[in-house]
Amino acid sequence: MRQNSILTEAMRPLVDLVYPPRCPLCGEGVADQGGVCAECFAGIERPAEPCCTLCMRPIGASLEEHARCLVCEAHPPRHAGVYAATLYGDATRKLILTYKHGGKIALASLLGRMMGQSLPDDETGETLLVPVPLHRWRLWRRGFNQAALLARELEKQGKGRLLVDGLVRRKQTPSLGGLGREAREKALSGAITVRSSREALIKGKAVTLVDDVLTSGATSDACTAALLDAGASSVKIACFARVVDS
């Protein structure tokens, strides 16, 4: 690992010469590959108080120390909380699309660092970082699991120990956008399970589920249920962007 790091640093000037680092949002020159210029960075919206202590949706001013939004009150989640680095908007959308579909996997470092700022350190040394899985055909087409790369970055920051194949997506699911709660649950029924060879590792452990974007929460709920049913002591969710209007 150390040798790889030294080699990477040694090659950096050559890479920068051939491919000058530019902001993925506006194209301006930046200091490092995978970086964002100061002006664009300022346009990235971060979660702020007051927000729901479970899902980070913005809520009205409240005097309660542990206020929850109406959605979480009506349908209490099984997870132990959401830790989002940003709120989904124009800038974060472009970053994620460039990262996921534009092949700019170097952005994993930036996104992972921002996620790590909102996530507590793994003080016990026992927390598992489990990425939301892709179906094998989607993984084959894309070439990488964006959530797994983010989880690897979090591991480097001391946020837990990566368990890259803890979950498996056994069937392809349609786009969940526009579907109601019941339809989303039906589409995901039986789609995501804990890999049988990893059950012993997960049992009794605190798990951080890692994904790039949290939208309706249907996929993370399915992952959370699978992990808890397999014996995980708790599951919290770490994501780069949180969509707040779903």
Condensed to tens digits (0 to 9), the pLDDT of residues 141-200 reads 888 999 999 999 999 999 999 999 999 998 877 666 555 667 777 777 788 999 999 999
pLDDT reported for residue 111: 95
Nearest C-alpha neighbor of 191 from the set 145, 139, 135, 129: 135
Q: Could you give phi then psi for residue 103, rounded to 5 degrees?
A: 75, 15
Distances (CA, A) of 84 to 97, 141, 169, 184: 17, 27, 23, 22
Q: Could you say which of 3.40.50, 2.60.120, 2.60.40, 3.40.640 is the CATH number of the domain covering 76-242? A: 3.40.50
User: Residue 223: is it exposed, middle or buried by C-beta count within 10 angstroms (0-12/13-18/19+)?
Assistant: buried
Condensed to tens digits (0 to 9), the pLDDT of residues 108-158 reads 999 999 999 989 898 888 999 999 999 888 888 888 999 999 999 999 999
Asked if the model's pLDDT at residue 4 lies above 50, the reply is: no
Q: What is the pTM of this model?
A: 0.85
Provide the 10 A C-beta neighbour count for residue 17: 8
* Cα–Cα distance measured from residue 31 to residue 47, given in angstroms and rounded to the nearest whole number: 26
* Cα–Cα distance measured from residue 72 to residue 50, given in angstroms and rounded to the nearest whole number: 15
* Cα–Cα distance measured from residue 115 to residue 25, given in angstroms and rounded to the nearest whole number: 19
Which run of H or of E encompasses 17? helix 2-18
> Which DSSP category does 178 fall into?
T
